[in-house]
Structure 1
Amino acid sequence: MPSFQTPLTTGKRKSDSGNENVQPFSSNNAKRLRLESRPESNADDGYWVVQWRNHQAKKHKTWEGDGVLVVSSNGSRATLYDSTDGRQIGSGKTEMPLFDEKVINVGGKDVGLDRKITKQEYLSGICFGSNSALISQSTQDSVKQTAGKVFKPPAMRKPSLNTESNESPIKLTSHPLPRVSSLQGLSPSNESADRSETQITSSSGPLFWAVNWRKTQSSSKKQVTWEGDAFISCINQKISMLSEEGKLIGASVCKNHQHQSGDRCFVGGKELVLLNEVSAEALPFTNKYAPVENEPAPAPSSPALPPLNRCVPTASFYAVPPRLKKPIGPLHDPDAEDAVVMKAPTKEHMERYNKKQRPVVPVVLDPILARRLRPHQREGVKFMYECVMGLRKHEGQGCILADEMGLGKTLQTITLVWTLLRQNAYAGAGPAISKVLIVCPVTLINNWKAEFHKWLGRDRVGVSICDRNTDTAKTFASSPRQQVLIVGYERLRTIMKEIATCGVGLVVCDEGHRLKSSKAKTSVIFKQLSTLRRIILSGTPIQNDLGEFHSMVDFCNPGLLDEYSAFRRLYEVPIMKSRAPGCTTKELELGEKRSAQLSNIAKSFVLRREASILGNYLPPKHEYVVFVTPTELQLSIYAKVLDPNKVDDFVESNSTAESLALINILTKISSSPILLKATMDKEQSKPKSEGLRYNNIQEALKLLPSSCEIEDLTLSGKMIAVSKLLAFVKQESEEKCVLVSHYTSTLNILESFCKKKNYSYFRLDGQTPAAKRQEYVTTFNKTNQRTSFIFLLSSKAGGTGINLIGASRLCLIDSDWNPSHDLQAMARCHRDGQKRAVFIYRFLTAGTIDEKIYQRQIIKLGLSNALMGSDNSKAKSKADSFTRKDLRDIFRVHPHTSSNTHDLLECICENEDGLEDDNLDDDVNDIQSECPKGFMAASQVNSHREIHEIDTEYLERRRTSLASLEEWKHINCLKQDAFKEVEDDLLRRMLYVRPKKELVSHTGTVTEQILHSVDLENLGEMEPLTARTVPGGTVSFLFERSSVEAGEATSEEE
């Protein structure tokens, strides 16, 4: 086999530098050159190609680099050079003799001898560099003398440098390297240390080379990378560097030195490496660099030299498509039919937010959503957009969308979010926001996600819900594809640290009345967010007082209404004084003035629309307040619990805890007396309390039948009426019902009743897992009556945001002091997607605490309507304070009235039969005769004594506060012709019908029998029915209101 020796350094280990185009003598150490020029460096010195490493103690050792070792003949001195850059890295004595694969120590480094080379190879510099160039001609001659056959590398064609695909490939001409008569020209000492500008010239005419170039890099960097390809031309002692597109990117002066492939030089501040010589035609703009005619023809070409082994990136095989600039203009056509265009920025807005003078483009709602929006929803989206973009007159970028339930607040919010995530009024500035945080009750999390998927699909926007997994918040904060995060109020506290700094551009708080207290933990946690754009969604923004309104406004527009102390002094106190009974004329005028000012401020960032505007889109809604007479058992228990003497002492003592406990007991008695037994069972484990709350109840419990069960609804008047209604719905229709209660104990009674009657049902309360809640709702809405007839709903756990459009009848079993809870619960059925007429029944036990709670709700709603802008002349409630008279009235039962609320209105309904005072006195005397002597039950006080105890001024104030009820239709169901006025067929069937009396005797004369028969059927004036003459559970009075009538009245006013 021929003894061919490769000109590379070593084949055992690849160099770490990665530079395959380094000229073998491109980097040399001046110190090494000086050492080699000393007289001691004689011909007996040895030259070795070696591998070296720092001394290692580990078992499996590795080499760190390649080098060249120069050893004196006697081994007295050995010098180690790095083969990559020629620098000296060690010196010292060594052990002789030397042979292949021996490991020695030189200057603290382990050196492994690879092979010995000649002095000519060493001086030529061929042993230096990571991938040396071809051996010079003289070196090849020396190799020929020792080998019979010379290695001939295969010829390779250089790929075309022209980027145009339609042109024929350019044929490159290779020129032979000039023969070097002496190896001294290749010595490393010929390269100057200061790296002059260039070493390229020609003495025979213009030359053209293909090169690689890069910006000047640090010499210590081992990994060499080139930035691009180029061409250079050397004409008239001037070097010009051209890019592949023909652009001049550098120039320099040519010096008179030889040149060859692999040489490096510097032109225009850029480092070049020569690849191969090319013809003038291969350069861009060849006519500019055409050779001179007088120049001699180039020498005949010798066999082409193989190209350098250079790595070509894969990405260079494919053309990079140019980035097209997006046209400046709106995302959607503002001139299209039914296009919804947002308000354009004002001059002041542009001065504040458009510092770079970007062009203004219209912001247009996506047609996918715009065509689904109703007129009031388009108005709502525009309102919220103007608020969050700072286009309204108030200071701040927040708003409150206070539409009533069922008007589509969720769809309006999704439309706004999608618009802000995609568009901006200033072209080139990117979207207005990049991330959105939606905070809502835990029961609505899945509903929000389902609504996003319903209106936008699953691919347009990234929606995440944050449950127990904390990684969701971290992913949302770091991923640009996660744009919307939905989280519950309670969960927000635990993830705020992860999302506080991720750039949330918009915060939406659904059911935002949860923020009614600025000191609550939920409100405080939002202070960690720097987001200015904030939206509150609430159908009931004001529930109790103006302090709640200030807290909500301070959340969405911080500082707009000043600190609460200043707000209370300026607005709350004057307004509340003007609404109190007995206020002076000055207080009334000041309060009305401040109320008008506050309402005017609120109009800028609060939008409130009533549900009556849905009359043209949804089926009609019929609302009924059903007054039901209590059972004799309920009246007896009330008489035992409410000892008049102790109640008076109790009211005067101002014991808040006792008051709340007694109110809770009275409420449960009104729902079902059996709840009283459950309450006292819990009290057995506690110390016995003294006074009214314990002793009287123990006596009342003795009145309960010993055989009563929890599923027995005959103990309560309301429950009797509810059971009748459910039976009629089940028998005569395919409709489904929702039963709502504020107490889980009441739901337990209804659940037991459903099991007893074999009614199919679902139940959703606080104990229902969050993952199951939406599943129950979806199943109930999609199935028929046989599969799911009743939905038992806790108003506090599921009374907000849930759509129960599968049911068309809703029964509110008990009332809450907060009107928003009842309003939210009653709005679950009359929503988008409902196909049937909706009937809503609020059941109240006549004359009991149920009516007092309902009356208090009407008063609170008057305050909310006054500030939200939905107030009118007929519904001005100005009695907001709660006095001792109100408290005493709560503990008073009116057993003789069909509706105490209607009595307070003092309205004269058409064809209403009045009750005789003598009959009332007789009924009271009957009850008194049954009670023990020594005290009188509060239920035994007749209407005359009540008027004496409650002064005329108090009654007038109560009547004024309930003025909004005049809009309802009043129906006395104890009248003979009441069934003609009731529109609901099922309620009409529930009305009490007087049983026909049988003839007492068939004896007597014929005349007596005829007169008796005529007296019963035609002539006799029948006694009017009263609350005391009908059985418990009878519907005694109705308040009726229909959305159809409200819509017609609104259209007439317009």
Structure 2
Amino acid sequence: MRRSSAPSKTGGRFCPPVLSMNKGEQKISPATTGSPVENAARSTKSILSLIAKVKQSSEDIPVEPSSNASPQSTEDSNHLNPPGVLSESVFNQESPISLSTGSKRIFNVVYGKPSKKKHKTWEGDGILEVGEKALTLKDCDSNILGRGSGKKNSELEEGSRLFVGSKEVEIIDAVTTTAIVASNKRASDSSSPPPGPLKRPKVSGSLRPQISIGGLRKPLTPVTQPYDPLVLPEPDLDHQWQFNKSGAHVNRVTVEPRLARVLRPHQREGVVFLYRCVTGLRDVHHLGAILADEMGLGKTLQCITLVWTLLRQGLYGNKPLFKKVLIVTPSSLTRNWHQEFMRWLGKEYIHVFVVDQKNKPKDFLTQINVPVMIISYEMFVRCYDDVAATQFDLIICDEGHRLKNNSIRASTLLNQLPCRRRVLLSGTPVQNDLQEFYSLVNFVNPTILGTYTEFHHNFEESILASRQPDCDEDVKAMGESKANELSQVTSGFVLRRTHAILDQYLPGKHEYVVFCKPSQLQLKLFQSAISCWEEGEKKVSHLAVITALKKICNHPVLLRDRDTDKENDYLSESLCEELSQLSGDQVVIEDATKLLVVTALLHSVAQAKERIVLVSYFTQTLDLLAALCDQYHYKHCRLDGSTPTARRVEIVNKFNSPYSENSVFLLSARAGGVGLNLTGASRLVLFDSDWNPASDLQAMARVWRDGQKNSVHIYRLLTTGSIEEKIYQRQLSKAGLNEVVVDPSHPSAVKLSDEELKDLFSLSEEEHCLTHRMLPCTCQGQGDVPQPVDPPSVTRLCQLSASRTNPHSQVFRINQLFQWEHYRQPLPIQLLQSMGLQDAGLFITFVFRNTLEIKPSDLQPT
């Protein structure tokens, strides 16, 4: 395929009117010299043979005779001039002479499918034979492509466009008499050796192969990449009895090479897993699955492979298993899914319908050959009736942990769709409690765990009781037994892989939990907020106090953004009045130590010419960070809830571009914390935390994923002794619960008592790190990797050797702090320099660090 202004990819068929010459040589135009240079590339032996075939079966091609010339004199004149040498008569002509045999003329052309595009794309080169009333289009191998009639021959000239049969044709130039006569003479003179071929001048940097102008066209040899075919499992007799009652032929379903080549081993395993679930090969009565891989393992690609394979193939007969597929995602990921379909398949193979303000779900019914609908959860709820009008064969729910609550409308409506095949994607299927896990399982495979009452009695009670630090051995053993039983029941349709399998593909990762010393202003406002709640004249809600304390942690100035809830006016007014008395109306960076740490890090990033992502759950905090960037002239871009969905992919792509001028990406964790690939950055700061550990893990996974080329540094900032540290402690407990249910290979987890978790509003001003004191850990905070009081099981996710050079060089979950390095004040200068925080050491009280650096020697078994 090519455009008409450029030579064909078949090479050697068309030369522009003026050839580029070496430096110092004069450019000669055929228009002024009469040279047939412009047709030299066209006068190949194959074309001339083609032209000769349409004439009478004589060896000489007749030329229009002049009044003073005879055929014999014409032949003699040709003998006087060897091939490739122009006669004086031709050289002095002002224009080429077109070949004319009777009433026929022949032109060099390009052809392609009819199109109204301004910049036409052509399929290839050919020749056009123009008779008095008939037109014949042939390719360079003399195959007839089409015929036409009715065109006036006198109107045809260079640049003319016309339709011949089913092809649109553009005339390049006319075939000249001189070229035909000279070529015919070469073909007929078999006694003399053929002259050396004329070669196209070398063009520096050209990828087009050098093809002899006088030689035959060489067949193109396809370039193939070796790959291991992915053949999917065949149905057994029970499956055939259930789904193939008509006795249709059993097919051999395979993944197409374009996808099989790019799938990594764990993704191949995931495709087979999903295939077994949705086809009923695993269980003919339950056709759902949960793909619970951690972020960055390619869940989207695995689903695209499944969808494309079963849109084209089926287990029985000649029918594909899927006709229509529904993909429901967060609004920020609809365009990302479309982009992934185009990346792996291309618009030539599949058309995807993305529901937005212009494309309505009801329009999907009228679409032909558009099998996939992508829609956001919000739009799905709004347009449920239109979506339900289509019979879908598969439903995929991305970030499916949104359906953890059965009472929300999206979950209720999705359950009403009459589609048994359901795939749920989630990096963290258990976020708060086992009831949420039950909701997700019940969505993909209804009733497989019984009713919720039965599930609570059989599993939930025992597992939660065994998670309490003060439980006895019998309760602990019963809980572990029930957890193993639950994991065994769900393992058939829940697949969980961790980041450890990406070690060989991704660069190093450095994670830090940084505890920042609160400023004096922050300490005073903490005390005032707690006093208002405990001793205030008016009742203050718990939520209002929590919100106020989190704002103080980010920066006290955020208290001036009043809440709309009148119930909280008393607390807001009291704190704002005290803030004005203590600091006035100025915004001082030193009033929030986390902001000081970020300022120091931005300076280091700018000096190293790296890029950084700053993540927050508050738009007001993003405003504050944007003002900080403006003050120090750091160019930045931003994505939050107000960013139009259609622009989000464009913003991300521009930031990831190596030519981007933006060094800082301001990201709202609510709007863009899931699914986005920000591999253009090598550092990420989570400025504040959420109660849900999954939200934080999703946000922190934006930079360390496929496509990342640089070593990554990820920072979680916490204000020491404040509510932020209490939130972090609660996250440790939730993450531990997640491992029990879906990742039983990590039985060791940090445990915190209920009493410790309830201590939210207390403020500790003297401790360097409350979390370190509560682990419990006896290390001195000098960079040690301590051992837990109860040593973990020897079972590991991947154990290559008992003598690894880096025993802590694994991807640990956030709750495995016993296997992280512990640092307390005074912090080593080497640590601060590696973190890029050498100017912020006075404001940091404690650091947990986990380093993943894979070396070739680490992967060699002994």
Which category of TM-score, normalised to the shorter sequence, fits these structures? 0.5 to 0.7
CA–CA distance in 2 between the matches of 1:873 and 1:550?
21
| Residues 1024-1048 of structure 1, C-alpha deviations (whole Å, 9 max, x = no match) | xxxxxx5xxx122211112326998
| From 813, 817, 839, the counterpart of 1:990 | 839
State the SS of the aligned residue for 1:406: coil
| From 579, 583, 590, the counterpart of 1:701 | 579
| Residues 770-815 of structure 1, C-alpha deviations (whole Å, 9 max, x = no match) | 1221111111111546x11111110001111111111111111001
Q: Is the 8 A contact 1:615 1:1047 kept in 2?
A: no
Distance 1:962 1:408, change over 3 A: closer
Measure how far apart 1:376 and its partner are: 0.7
| From 615, 632, 637, the counterpart of 2:525 | 637
CA–CA distance in 2 between the matches of 1:825 and 1:634?
26
Measure how far apart 1:400 and its partner are: 0.5
The answer for the alignment partner of 1:664 in structure 2 is 547
| From 840, 844, 848, the counterpart of 1:1039 | 848
Does 2:757 align with 1:886? yes
Distance 1:366 1:509, change over 3 A: same
CA–CA distance in 1 between the matches of 2:736 and 2:453?
24
Distance 1:734 1:870, change over 3 A: farther
Equivalences for 1:50-449 in 2 at 5 Å? Answer: 338-393=228-283, 395-428=285-318, 430-449=319-338
Equivalent residue letter for 1:906 = P
Distance 1:382 1:770, change over 3 A: same
The answer for the alignment partner of 1:726 in structure 2 is 602
| From 610, 617, 620, the counterpart of 1:735 | 610
Measure how far apart 1:659 and its partner are: 1.6
Q: Is the 8 A contact 1:808 1:836 kept in 2?
A: yes
The answer for the alignment partner of 2:566 in structure 1 is 686
Measure how far apart 1:746 and its partner are: 0.6
Q: Is the 8 A contact 1:473 1:498 kept in 2?
A: yes
Measure how far apart 1:882 and its partner are: 4.4
Q: Is the 8 A contact 2:431 2:738 kept in 1?
A: yes
Q: Is the 8 A contact 1:626 1:841 kept in 2?
A: yes
| From 440, 447, 451, the counterpart of 1:563 | 451
CA–CA distance in 2 between the matches of 1:965 and 1:808?
23
Q: Is the 8 A contact 1:437 1:506 kept in 2?
A: yes
Measure how far apart 1:891 and its partner are: 1.3
| From 728, 733, 741, the counterpart of 1:867 | 741
State the SS of the aligned residue for 1:403: coil
The answer for the alignment partner of 1:507 in structure 2 is 395
CA–CA distance in 1 between the matches of 2:861 and 2:291?
25
The answer for the alignment partner of 1:791 in structure 2 is 665
Equivalent residue letter for 1:686 = K
Does 2:401 align with 1:527? no
Measure how far apart 1:497 and its partner are: 2.4
Measure how far apart 1:702 and its partner are: 4.3
CA–CA distance in 2 between the matches of 1:1046 and 1:891?
45
Q: Is the 8 A contact 1:496 1:528 kept in 2?
A: no
Q: Is the 8 A contact 2:781 2:824 kept in 1?
A: no
State the SS of the aligned residue for 1:467: coil
State the SS of the aligned residue for 1:811: strand
CA–CA distance in 1 between the matches of 2:384 and 2:235?
33
Equivalent residue letter for 2:849 = E
Does 2:731 align with 1:854? no
| Residues 201-220 of structure 1, C-alpha deviations (whole Å, 9 max, x = no match) | xxxxxxxxxxxxxxxxxxxx
Structure 2 unaligned segments of length 5 or more: list them.
1-225, 785-812
Measure how far apart 1:585 and its partner are: 4.6
Distance 1:609 1:963, change over 3 A: closer
CA–CA distance in 1 between the matches of 2:503 and 2:823?
24
Measure how far apart 1:381 and its partner are: 0.6
Measure how far apart 1:474 and its partner are: 3.1
Equivalent residue letter for 2:449 = L
Distance 1:612 1:1043, change over 3 A: farther
Measure how far apart 1:701 and its partner are: 2.2
The answer for the alignment partner of 2:377 in structure 1 is 489
Equivalent residue letter for 2:666 = L
Aligned positions, number: 609
Distance 1:778 1:870, change over 3 A: farther
Distance 1:540 1:580, change over 3 A: same
Equivalent residue letter for 1:815 = S
- TM-score where L is the length of structure 1: 0.55
Measure how far apart 1:666 and its partner are: 0.9
The answer for the alignment partner of 1:590 in structure 2 is 478
Does 2:415 align with 1:544? no
Measure how far apart 1:501 and its partner are: 4.5
Equivalent residue letter for 2:770 = N
Q: Is the 8 A contact 1:979 1:991 kept in 2?
A: no
| Residues 172-213 of structure 1, C-alpha deviations (whole Å, 9 max, x = no match) | xxxxxxxxxxxxxxxxxxxxxxxxxxxxxxxxxxxxxxxxxx
Measure how far apart 1:607 and its partner are: 0.7
| Residues 995-1051 of structure 1, C-alpha deviations (whole Å, 9 max, x = no match) | xxxxxxxxxxxxxxxxxxxxxxxxxxxxxxxxxxx5xxx1222111123269988x5
Measure how far apart 1:871 and its partner are: 4.6
The answer for the alignment partner of 2:42 in structure 1 is none
Q: Is the 8 A contact 2:823 2:847 kept in 1?
A: yes
CA–CA distance in 2 between the matches of 1:700 and 1:706?
9
CA–CA distance in 2 between the matches of 1:601 and 1:697?
53
| Residues 689-723 of structure 1, C-alpha deviations (whole Å, 9 max, x = no match) | 66xx46863564245311413xx422101000001
| From 696, 700, 703, the counterpart of 1:822 | 696
State the SS of the aligned residue for 2:281: coil
State the SS of the aligned residue for 2:727: helix
Distance 1:633 1:688, change over 3 A: closer
Measure how far apart 1:495 and its partner are: 3.2
Equivalent residue letter for 2:590 = T
Q: Is the 8 A contact 1:855 1:962 kept in 2?
A: no
Q: Is the 8 A contact 1:387 1:397 kept in 2?
A: yes
Equivalent residue letter for 1:705 = S
| Residues 473-504 of structure 1, C-alpha deviations (whole Å, 9 max, x = no match) | 23423444010000011111233323424331
The answer for the alignment partner of 2:346 in structure 1 is 457
Measure how far apart 1:386 and its partner are: 0.5
Q: Is the 8 A contact 2:487 2:744 kept in 1?
A: no
| Residues 852-875 of structure 1, C-alpha deviations (whole Å, 9 max, x = no match) | 111111110000111012552432
CA–CA distance in 2 between the matches of 1:743 and 1:633?
21
| Residues 55-91 of structure 1, C-alpha deviations (whole Å, 9 max, x = no match) | xxxxxxxxxxxxxxxxxxxxxxxxxxxxxxxxxxxxx
CA–CA distance in 2 between the matches of 1:419 and 1:822?
34
CA–CA distance in 1 between the matches of 2:861 and 2:582?
55
Q: Is the 8 A contact 1:476 1:483 kept in 2?
A: no
| Residues 372-416 of structure 1, C-alpha deviations (whole Å, 9 max, x = no match) | 011111111111111101111584101000111111111111011
State the SS of the aligned residue for 1:844: strand
Measure how far apart 1:363 and its partner are: 1.2
CA–CA distance in 2 between the matches of 1:911 and 1:846?
16
Distance 1:1048 1:970, change over 3 A: farther
- TM-score where L is the length of structure 2: 0.67
Equivalent residue letter for 1:717 = T
CA–CA distance in 2 between the matches of 1:607 and 1:424?
23
Measure how far apart 1:550 and its partner are: 1.0
The answer for the alignment partner of 1:610 in structure 2 is 498
CA–CA distance in 1 between the matches of 2:312 and 2:611?
42
Share of identical aligned residues, percent?
Answer: 41
